[in-house]
Structure 1
C-alpha cells in the first residue's frame, strides 16, 4: 500500500465516521451546482465537518459530484450520498476546517437569522 492509498483510506474512514459527527441545524442560503447542470439557489438545513443536507427539488443521484457555495466562501466540492423528497445529503470531498465550521455556526443558526460576531 502506498502512502497515497493510506491517506485516502484514512480520509474515507473519517468521512464515514463524520456522518455521526456533530451535525448542527442551520438555515443558510447557498447555491448548489450539480456536475453537468445549472446552479440553483438552496437552503442548507444542517452541516457537519464532513457534509451537509440541503433542499434540492430536482433529483440528484448517489455518487454524482456537486459544488456548494456558501455566502462569502469559495465552492466546496462534494458527492451526493442520498436524495429523498426534495432534500439532498452530500459528503464534502475535503473535511471542513473546524475554524470554518465554527465561523459558519457563529453566523447562522437554525431559525435563519444572520448574526454578526
Structure 2
C-alpha cells in the first residue's frame, strides 16, 4: 500500500498537478551531507524542479535549492538521470513566489530590444 510520501511523489512527478515551466535559472544545489555546487534549474513548478547535478544524487535523498534572492528550499530527490535531478519540494512553493520567479526568468533568453 502506498504511503503518503509515495502518493505525493507520484502526484508531483506523474500527475503534474501543477504546470512545469521550462526556463533557465542559475542556482546552488546541496545534497544532504554534501557541499553546495553551482547548478541550473531547467524547469520549475510549485511542487518541484529539475536541475543539472554534477554529483550523483539518490532517490529519497534530501537536498536544498537556493535560487537568487531566496532562502534555501528543501526538497527530496525523486529521480536522477544522466546529470539531471528531479526533486519534489518538501513544502509547496508559494504561488506568489513561483509567479515572481517566472516573471524574473522567463524572458532571460528572449532577445533584447534596442530602445
TM-score, length of structure 2 as denominator length: 0.82
The equivalent position to 1:25 in structure 2, one of 22, 27, 42, is 22
User: Does the 8 A contact of 2:9 with 2:78 survive in 1?
Assistant: no
After TM superposition, which residue ranges in structure 1, 4 or more long, deviate above 3 angstroms? 11-16, 110-113
Separation (CA, whole Å) in 2 of partners of 1:90 and 1:32: 11
Aligned to 2:63: 66
Deviations for 1:37-79, whole angstroms, at most 9, x for unmatched residues? 0000000000011000000021100000000000000000000
User: How many residue pairs end up in the alignment?
Assistant: 105
Tell me, what secondary structure is at the counterpart of 1:106? helix
Question: Is 1:52 aligned with 2:49?
Answer: yes
Query: In the alignment, is the contact (CA less than 8 A) between 2:12 and 2:88 conserved in 1?
Result: no
Task: For structure 2, list consecutive stretches of 5 or more residues without a partner in the other structure.
Answer: 111-115
